[in-house]
Amino acid sequence: MPALRSLAALCLFAAAFALAASGSARAAEAPLTVFAAASLKESLDEAAAAYASATGQAVRVSYAASSALARQIGQGAPADVFVSADLDWMDLLQDKGLVDAGTRTGLLGNRLVLIAPAASGAKPLALRKGQDLRPLLGRRGRIALGMVDSVPAGKYAKAAFESLGMWSALEPRVAGVENVRAALMLVARGEAPLGVVYASDAKAEPRVRVLATFPAGSHPEIVYPAARVAASRHPQAAAFVDWLQQPVARAIFARHGFILR
Amino acid sequence: MLDFSPAELEAVALSLKVALVAALASLPAGIAVAWLLARRHFPGKALLDALVHLPLVLPPVVVGYALLVLFGGQGPVGAFLDESFGITLAFRWTGAALASAIMGFPLMVRAIRLSIESVDRRLEQAAATLGAGPWRVFATVTLPLAWPGIVAGAVLAFAKALGEFGATITFVSNIPGETQTISSAIYGLMQVPGGETGIWRLALVAVVISLMALLASEWLVRRQHGRHGDGDEA
C-alpha cells in the first residue's frame, strides 16, 4: 500500500534524523547545564555569556524556584551546576550526596524588600513590630509571596513577618506563587498591592517601588550557595563554579544588586 | 496513609467545586459553539474553529497569563466585571473555574460537535416539515440524539478542569482554601521534603474522582438510550 510505505519512510527518516542530531551534539563540546534560582535571571545570564565569550564554553541556564530545581536534581535531572537561593535546599542535596561538597561555596547574599506597584502611589514606610499592613491591601488585595513552605523567598518572607509579629494578620491575605519572579510580576502588573521579593529583583523591575527593606536580623541570612552536581561528568563544571567567584563575575552580580560574600 | 490533613481535604473539595462549575457553566456555550460549527456555514467559521482550539495548542501558562492580563483586577474585562457586577476573578476560586473552563473548552466542543454532526439531518428536516420551529427541533430532536456526545464533552471538561495546573497557578496563584486545587497542592507538596505520602494520597483521590466521573457518564448515556427505546447498548 502506497500510504503505508510513505508512513514507514517518514518514520525511518524521523528516526535517522533524531540519531544524527543526537550524535552531532555529542561530537561538539556539550553545553554546561546550570540550574539556578529564579532571582538570578538577568545577572547569571550576563555572567554565563561572559564565561562563554571568555572560554568558548557554552552555558545554558534553567531558572525556577530552588525548591523545584532541587527536586529535579534529586530525581536525576542532568544539571552540571546548582545555584540555590537558600541553604536548606543545598543542604538537602548535600546530605544525599548529590552535590560535590568540595566545590560548594556561599556565592552571594541579598536583602528582602517589601514592594508595591510604582503606579499605586504607595509611600516608603518604616517596618515596626506588630505593624498592620492590611490597610495597604485594601478590601480584597493580596500580598504576593513565593509559596511559604517551599520557595526560598517565601520562607524568608514568612520568617521576617513572624519575627516582626505581622504574620498572623497577613497569612490569610497571602497569594502564594511558584517563584519569586512570579510575585514580582504580580506586583509589577498591579494585580497585588504588596509583595515581598529580593532587593535585586526590585532593582530589575522599573514598575515596582521598594517600600521598605526588612531588617537583616528578621530572617535567616540570605545566602546563594553554588556547587557542582555530583553526577555531572562535564569537565568544566567545577571551573564554572570557581569562575563565578572571580572579579569579572562578582562585578556583574554587584551591578544587579546582590551582596558579595 | 489515608489520613488526610485538613489542607488536603480542602484542596479536594475546592477541586470538585471548581471542576463542576467549570464543566457545567461552560456547557451551554459549548453546545452553542459546537452546534454553530456543526450545522452552520458563515464567513470566519475557520477562524472561530481555530480560536476554540487555541487553549489546546498554547502552553497553559500562556493561557493563564492572557487571563491575568484580561480578567485580572487591572485588566479591561476584570475591571468592568468588578465595577459593574462586583465579580472578582483574580485570586478567587471563580478565576480558577474560568481558567479550567477555558482549558477544557476545546475538548468539550470537539466531542459535542462530532455528536451533533452524526445526527441525521433528515430527522431534523422531517421535524421541521411537521411544523416544529428551530428551537423545538433542537430541543426535541438534535439534543437527545447528540446526548452521548454532550455527556462525553462535559465529562472531558470536568476531567481536564480537575487536572488543570499551569493556567490556574499563573492566573490565580496558590491560595489554600481559595485556589489551591489538588494539582496545586500536589505541586506544593512536591517541593517540600517528605511530602511524598501527601502526593500519593491526593493522586489517589484524583484517580477515584475521575473514575467516578467516567462511570457517571456511562450511566447518563445508558439512561438516555433506555428512555428512547434505543436497542443497541454496546
Same structural domain, A39 and A162: no
The answer to whether A121 and A259 are in contact (CB under 8 A) is: no
Residues of chain A with C-beta less than 8 angstroms from the C-beta of B68: 189, 191
Residue A237 backbone phi and psi in degrees, to 5 = -60, -55
Which of the residues B82, B173, B192 would you substitute to probe the A interface, choosing the one with the greatest number of A C-beta atoms within 10 Å? B173
Instruction: With respect to residue A5, please indicate whether it lies within any of the assigned structural domains.
Output: no
Over residues A111-142, the pLDDT tens digits come to: 999 999 999 989 999 999 999 999 999 988 99
Same structural domain, A141 and A53: no
Nearest residue, CB atoms, A191 vs list B72, B169, B176: B72
Which of the residues A191, A194, A196, A207 would you substitute to probe the B interface, choosing the one with the greatest number of B C-beta atoms within 10 Å? A191
With 70 as the cut, is the pLDDT of residue B195 above it? yes
Residue A14 backbone phi and psi in degrees, to 5 = -60, -40
With 60 as the cut, is the pLDDT of residue A26 above it? no
Over residues A70-116, the pLDDT tens digits come to: 989 998 999 999 999 989 999 999 999 999 999 999 999 999 999 99
- Rounded Cα–Cα distance for residues A219 and A166 (Å): 13
The per-residue pLDDT of chain B, averaged, comes to 89
Nearest residue, CB atoms, B73 vs list A68, A151, A191: A191
Single out the residue of A194, A97, A183 nearest to residue A143, CA to CA: A194
Per-residue pLDDT at A25: 47
**Confidence class of residue A21 from pLDDT cuts 50, 70 and 90?**
low
With 90 as the cut, is the pLDDT of residue A35 above it? yes
**Confidence class of residue B228 from pLDDT cuts 50, 70 and 90?**
low
Host domain of residue A176: 112-218
Same structural domain, A183 and A129: yes
Q: Do B191 and A65 touch (CB under 8 A)?
A: yes
Burial of B164 (0-12, 13-18, 19+ CB in 10 A): buried
Single out the residue of B119, B120, B141 nearest to residue B130, CA to CA: B141
**Confidence class of residue B190 from pLDDT cuts 50, 70 and 90?**
confident
The whole-angstrom distance between B168's CA and the closest CA on chain A is: 11
Q: Do B192 and A182 touch (CB under 8 A)?
A: no
Same structural domain, A233 and A105: yes
**Confidence class of residue A14 from pLDDT cuts 50, 70 and 90?**
confident
Over residues A136-165, the pLDDT tens digits come to: 999 889 999 999 988 999 999 999 999 999
The per-residue pLDDT of chain A, averaged, comes to 91
Instruction: With respect to residue A190, please indicate whether it lies within any of the assigned structural domains.
Output: yes
Nearest CA in chain B to A68: B191
Same structural domain, A237 and A170: no
With 90 as the cut, is the pLDDT of residue B29 above it? yes
Over residues B148-175, the pLDDT tens digits come to: 899 999 999 999 999 899 999 999 988 8
CATH number assigned to the domain comprising residue A205: 3.40.190.10
The whole-angstrom distance between A51's CA and the closest CA on chain B is: 31
How is chain B split into domains, by residue range? 6-227
Per-residue pLDDT at A22: 57
The whole-angstrom distance between B191's CA and the closest CA on chain A is: 5
Instruction: With respect to residue A14, please indicate whether it lies within any of the assigned structural domains.
Output: no
Per-residue pLDDT at A129: 92
pTM: 0.80
Single out the residue of A227, A241, A242, A256 nearest to residue A91, CA to CA: A227
CATH code at B6-227: 1.10.3720.10
Per-residue pLDDT at A12: 81
Instruction: With respect to residue A229, please indicate whether it lies within any of the assigned structural domains.
Output: yes
With 70 as the cut, is the pLDDT of residue A1 above it? no
Over residues A214-255, the pLDDT tens digits come to: 999 999 999 999 999 999 999 999 999 999 999 999 999 999
**Percent of residues, chain B, with pLDDT higher than 90:** 66
Single out the residue of A183, A175, A167 nearest to residue A133, CA to CA: A167
Per-residue H/E/C for B32-86:
HHHHHHHHCCCCCHHHHHHHHHHHHHCCHHHHHHHHHHHHCCCCHHHHHHHHHHC
Instruction: With respect to residue A16, please indicate whether it lies within any of the assigned structural domains.
Output: no
Per-residue pLDDT at B64: 93
Which of the residues A142, A170, A179 would you substitute to probe the B interface, choosing the one with the greatest number of B C-beta atoms within 10 Å? A142
Same structural domain, A170 and A255: no
Nearest residue, CB atoms, B90 vs list A147, A151, A191: A191
With 90 as the cut, is the pLDDT of residue B87 above it? no
Give me A55's grid cell: 572560554
Instruction: With respect to residue A50, please indicate whether it lies within any of the assigned structural domains.
Output: yes
Same structural domain, A177 and A243: no
**Confidence class of residue A189 from pLDDT cuts 50, 70 and 90?**
very high
What is the domain count for chain A?
2
The whole-angstrom distance between A140's CA and the closest CA on chain B is: 9
Same structural domain, A136 and A93: no
The answer to whether A241 and A228 are in contact (CB under 8 A) is: yes
CA distances from A51 to A229, A244, B134 (A): 19, 9, 70
Nearest CA in chain B to A75: B190
Q: Do B191 and A92 touch (CB under 8 A)?
A: no
More confident residue, A27 or A34: A34
Same structural domain, A240 and A190: no
Q: Do A174 and B175 touch (CB under 8 A)?
A: yes
Distance spanning both ends of chain B, measured CA to CA: 39
Q: Do A140 and B88 touch (CB under 8 A)?
A: yes
- Rounded Cα–Cα distance for residues A169 and A233 (Å): 49
With 90 as the cut, is the pLDDT of residue A178 above it? no
What is the residue-wise DSSP string for A176-193? EESSHHHHHHHHHTTSSS
Instruction: With respect to residue A181, please indicate whether it lies within any of the assigned structural domains.
Output: yes
**Confidence class of residue B234 from pLDDT cuts 50, 70 and 90?**
very low
Whether chain B has a CB inside 8 Å of the CB on A186: the answer is yes
Q: Do A175 and B193 touch (CB under 8 A)?
A: no
Instruction: With respect to residue A49, please indicate whether it lies within any of the assigned structural domains.
Output: yes
**Confidence class of residue B233 from pLDDT cuts 50, 70 and 90?**
very low
